[in-house]
């Protein structure tokens, strides 16, 4: 029996591709054992056990961005996390460590290097994070989601997608999607979502402009996120949900999307051929703008800055798109032209290649 340690998490953008590869790996090799290294605070604490995998936890250790008390304590805490991960690698006789980014990935990479365990990296974002940039110097097995990503030894594999997204036929599932959310089959559907955590500015703008959008003949399926204070609406055609556990059916029911441009969302939209307006998250290292580049360049999405996405933009720009069904159909084709549905298969091959590669350092027995 082969044992793999998959490290990463924090958000759905990290957890979902990790689980997609885990599912595909165990489908191909029923004797394979996948352990997941994460934190008790991240989304993995809920999603990993729900999927049937064992979650091993280490403390949440964000890289310090400024010199303060937390920065001074970081080296000791990081080393403790590395040692704990080394112990787990030895205890479970781990053959390969796969990192997808997130707080658990960096300690896992260092522990794998110190124990001679092969490392595999998957970078979801077009602009790589620090942990994966460092890990790319420790392995030749590096999978990329986007063609414009610059990372040592990287090869484009796409985003590992959940099976229900990977196999979705929107036309076949549309009736089921409309019924799931109580939508009118005679009106087109605008899906609005900010990702697993929601998006305050998108939520606020769409909530205020909902009557205008509905008045233009559309209905709105608005997934606001659990932290939003926007509740159910009495406006006919405006459907507000705090969460959506069936995004496959939401995609099937929808004709157009307004969303953040997180890597997972961009890849799911292009995989299923949904046109969109993408509003990058304005904080961080700007990776969401880079994530949108391929589909925007292809004409499958329109990019708008967070500060510009207001009620006026909805009225003068979004409504113009929504009223042009020929343009929407063309954008759908263009979005689908840059999508990948085989990311889970290709990442699984990368993991298996790493497992089969000759060890260049210590063996399992030496560990």
According to the annotation, is 162 in a ligand binding site?
yes
Closest CA to 192 of 253, 234, 273, 236: 253
- Which DSSP helix (H) or strand (E) runs through 145? none
Q: What is the DSSP letter of 308?
A: G
Q: Locate tokens 């999405």: which residue?
A: 301
Give the 3-state secondary structure of residue 62: coil
Does 11 appear as a known binding residue? yes
> Alpha carbon of 113 to those of 78, 107, 119, 123, 137: distances in Å?
15, 10, 8, 18, 11
CA 198, CA 203: separation in Å to the nearest integer?
8
The answer to whether the beta carbons of residues 115 and 95 sit under 8 Å apart is no
Q: Residue 152, annotated ligand binder?
A: no
Q: How far apart are the first and last CA of the chain?
A: 18
Q: Please provide the size of the chain in residues.
A: 367
Other Cβ atoms within 10 Å of 117 Cβ, number: 26
312 belongs to an annotated ligand binding site: no
Binding site annotation covers 327?
no
Strand ranges, E, within the chain: 3-7, 33-38, 54-57, 96-99, 119-123, 142-144, 154-156, 189-193, 219-223, 238-241, 256-259, 276-278, 301-303
DSSP per-residue codes, 203-233: HHHHHHHHHHHHHTT-EEEEE--TT------
Which strands sit side by side in the sheet containing 276-278, from one edge to the other?
Answer: 238-241, 219-223, 189-193, 256-259, 276-278, 301-303
Give the residue numbers of the binding site: 11-13, 125, 162, 196, 288
Task: Tell me the binding residues for UDP-N-acetyl-alpha-D-glucosamine.
Answer: 11-13, 125, 162, 196, 288
């Amino acid at each position: 029996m082969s044992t793999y340690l998959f490290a990463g998490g924090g958000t759905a953008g990290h957890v979902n591709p990790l689980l997609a590869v885990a599912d595909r790996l165990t489908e191909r090799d029923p004797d394979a054992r996948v352990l997941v290294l994460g934190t008790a605070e991240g989304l993995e604490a809920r999603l990993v056990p729900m999927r049937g995998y064992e979650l091993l936890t280490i403390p949440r250790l964000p890289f310090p961005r400024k010199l303060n008390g937390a920065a001074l304590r970081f080296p000791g805490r990081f080393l403790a996390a590395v040692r704990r991960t080394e112990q787990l690698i030895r205890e479970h006789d781990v053959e390969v460590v796969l990192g997808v980014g997130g707080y658990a990935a960096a300690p896992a990479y260092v522990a794998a290097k110190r124990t001679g365990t092969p490392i595999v990296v998957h970078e979801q974002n077009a602009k790589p994070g620090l942990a994966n940039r460092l890990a790319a110097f420790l392995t030749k097995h590096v999978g990329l989601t986007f063609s414009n990503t610059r990372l040592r030894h990287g090869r484009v594999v796409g985003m590992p997608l959940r099976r229900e997204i990977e196999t979705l036929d929107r036309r076949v599932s549309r009736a089921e999607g409309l019924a799931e959310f109580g939508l009118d089959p005679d009106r087109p559907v605008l899906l609005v979502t900010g990702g697993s955590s929601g998006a305050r500015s998108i939520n606020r703008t769409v909530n205020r402009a909902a009557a205008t959008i509905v008045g233009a003949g559309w209905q709105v399926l608005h997934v606001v996120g659990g932290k939003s204070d926007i509740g159910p609406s009495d406006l006919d055609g405006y459907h507000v949900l705090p969460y959506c556990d069936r995004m496959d059916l939401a995609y099937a029911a929808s004709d157009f999307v307004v969303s953040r441009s997180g890597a997972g969302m961009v890849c799911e939209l292009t995989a299923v051929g949904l046109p969109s307006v993408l509003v990058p998250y304005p904080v961080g290292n700007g990776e969401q703008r880079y994530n949108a580049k391929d589909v925007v360049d292809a004409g499958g999405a329109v990019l708008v800055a967070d500060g510009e996405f207001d009620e006026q933009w909805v009225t003068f720009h979004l409504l113009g798109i929504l009223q042009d069904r020929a343009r929407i159909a063309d954008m759908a084709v263009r979005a689908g032209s840059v999508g990948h549905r085989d990311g889970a298969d290709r990442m699984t091959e990368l993991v298996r290649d790493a497992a089969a590669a000759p060890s260049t350092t210590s063996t399992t027995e030496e560990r």
